[in-house]
A = this chain, B = another copy of it.
Amino acid sequence: MHFLSDNAARACPEVLQAVLNANDVVDGAYDSDSISARLDSGFSDLFGIDCRVFPVSTGTAANALALAAMLPPFGAVVCHEEAHIHVDEAGAPEFYTAGAKLLLADGDGAKLTPESVAKTMAPMRGDVHQVAVRALSLTQATEYGRVYTPDEIMALSADAARRGWHVHMDGARFANAIATLGCHPGDVTWRAGVDALSFGFIKNGGMSAEALIIFTSELAETIPLRRKRAGQMPSKGRFAAAQLLAMIEDDVWLRNARRANAGAQRLGAAAADRLMHRVDANEVFLRIGVPGATLLREQGFDFYDWGDEGAGEARFVVAWDTPDGDVDALAKAIGSLPI
């Protein structure tokens, strides 16, 4: 039973059907087809503001493109020390920005705070010997499955604006965050001062397309050429566009995310005393001990060990398509672990 990640989950039926439907739409290559032409308006409707949408093949590409639009090569972005862009993207931000720096801040649950950002900025003098900080990047939901409230984001963005920075949001699990917050997607993005969102779909029932959403129009200017140059402009763009549109039609993205979140909540409730982080999305981090991990694996559950070797910590991810029975079985198995 898979709790390793939502990275290998199925594509949902709506996405598959959209791909099939797109096949006969042969009216244009690159982004000139009639499906791609609907992207900007579709997402503008969803977010309640005119925005630009750039399909890419991975979340890493979305993040790195957004940062490249914000940062000169001599620039820097402040992000959490456990941010995916720092830890798990093999230096993609440095590649796309031609060598900008990631300045690391701490914060519980991988959440930044104005205080943690200020601490990171303390040694930065703003002179010619130091890189020029130009952006803040935050992850919604975070790498520990925690969620920023609109107010929290607004506080960080106000701080960033005061410093003259742009704000990027890594939304690999943005849908899970919105499903939990129950707010309008604009409330934690452009209304809260976010300039660009890497809107993740693949973990949440998509197949092979993610979306970079640009709310602040001047940031979009350089992206078409950067995207092409990165090998991220597919000739049959309609197949990517169709996936993205299928996900936002009829709230498929929210329905899928709610299902995953619900499973995580059930797991979290069954292991309340083992929780390392509050369950805000579809990830559950538990202290189960090394013997506990072994017991669970013997029962057929797979998942990632977390933290330092021998820490006895584990991450369980519920995907949109994780069978209810698997969640129940895991909840029960965890409940039966020796304390």
Contact = CB atoms under 8 A, between A and B. Distances in A.
A202 interface: yes
B58 A224 contact: no
B87 A123 contact: yes
B10 A23 contact: yes
B208 A234 contact: yes
A231 B8 contact: no
A11 B57 contact: no
A94 B94 contact: yes
Contacts of A132: 225
Chain multiplicity (copies): 4
The range of chain A's interface size is 35 or more
Contacts of A130: 87-88, 90
A233 interface: yes
A7 interface: yes
B128 A236 contact: no
Residue picked from A95, A122, A202, A235, most chain B C-beta under 10 Å: A235
A308 B56 contact: no
A222 interface: yes
A312 to B, nearest CB: 16
Interface in A6-46: 7-11, 16, 19-20, 23-24, 26-30, 33
Given A58-B234, A74-B95, A74-B225, 13 more contacts: A8-B27, A8-B33, A10-B26, A19-B19, A26-B321, A57-B208, A58-B231, A92-B229, A96-B231, A128-B224, A131-B225, A202-B235, A208-B234
Interface of A: 2, 4-5, 7-11, 16, 19-20, 23-24, 26-30, 33, 56-62, 64-65, 72-74, 76, 87-92, 94-102, 104, 122-123, 128-132, 202-203, 207-208, 222, 224-226, 228-236, 238-240, 308, 321
